[in-house]
Amino acid sequence: MNPGFFDNYPMFYRDQIDIQRRLNVRHHAIIETNAQIIKDKNVVDIASNDGRWSFAAYKAGAQYVTGIEGRSDFVDMARTNFAALNVPIENYRFVVGDVFDTLRWVDPEKCDTVFCLGFLYHTLRFDELLTQIKLLKPRYLIIDTKVSPSQNCVVEVIVEETTPMNTLEDRVFHRTKVAVGWPSVPALITLLNNYNFVDHQFFPWSQYLAGAPDVNSVHQLKIYNNGSRVTVVCRNADVP
């Protein structure tokens, strides 16, 4: 395996080789490919987990990173990781809170580029999410999400168990299973266009992974390769 960005930061994969491999490959698609819209920019990282993508953005030259995460233990991990990696406190902030509530309080002056990585397919509240993102007036939005295989403009509704790595438990009825939605690519494009997020650039996963010896053995690589998960960057046409 060729050296990758995350090889030097084992706190983000904890000696799990499949996760290490997946993170390195995703780093190329999400960070390296989009370096020009991250460097010297303010980044808002939705569902920031243990801070892995916030840290990758910081190392790519982001001026300031705001991580939003609903699980307090993950926020604690992110803060611990950033402290251990000697990231100056004035360059980041991690907030515990529901994404839909917390986005309302983010300073638009601290938002040039939004990361929505691994979150869109854990909700059905697409309209509310894109509205809140739009109000922050970012210049760019990067989405990484599972998608429905349909070629039609549809959203596939799935009932998902609430686990530490999936959807949060319903706060009203405390259900342990929650309905979420996977948009098809045509539906995702339609949603983005409706909020004037344009110039959609989909990362060419199948081309990039062509010939990779472990593409079918590492689940997260397989679903990128077969088109079940996509990475797309788009521009906010309403921000000069």
Is residue 58's pLDDT more than 70? yes
For 103, list phi and psi in degrees, rounded to 5.
Answer: -60, -25
**Signed CA dihedral, 36, 42, 48, 51: sign only:** positive
pLDDT at 25: 94
In terms of C-beta density within 10 A (0-12 exposed, 13-18 middle, 19 or more buried), how is residue 199 classed?
A: exposed
Domain residue limits, the chain: 5-149+183-236
**CATH architecture designation of domain 5-149+183-236:** 3-Layer(aba) Sandwich (3.40)
166 falls in which pLDDT band (50, 70, 90)?
Answer: low
* pLDDT tens, residue by residue, 9-23: 999 998 888 899 999
Distance in angstroms (rounded) separating the CA atoms of residues 190 and 194? 6
* pLDDT tens, residue by residue, 216-234: 777 788 999 999 999 999 9
1 falls in which pLDDT band (50, 70, 90)?
Answer: very low
* pLDDT tens, residue by residue, 121-139: 999 999 999 999 999 999 9
pLDDT at 167: 61
Q: Which spans in 62-176 are helix H? A: 72-84, 99-102, 126-135
Centre a 10 Å sphere on the Cβ of residue 1 and count the other Cβ atoms it contains: 10
**Signed CA dihedral, 197, 200, 206, 212: sign only:** negative
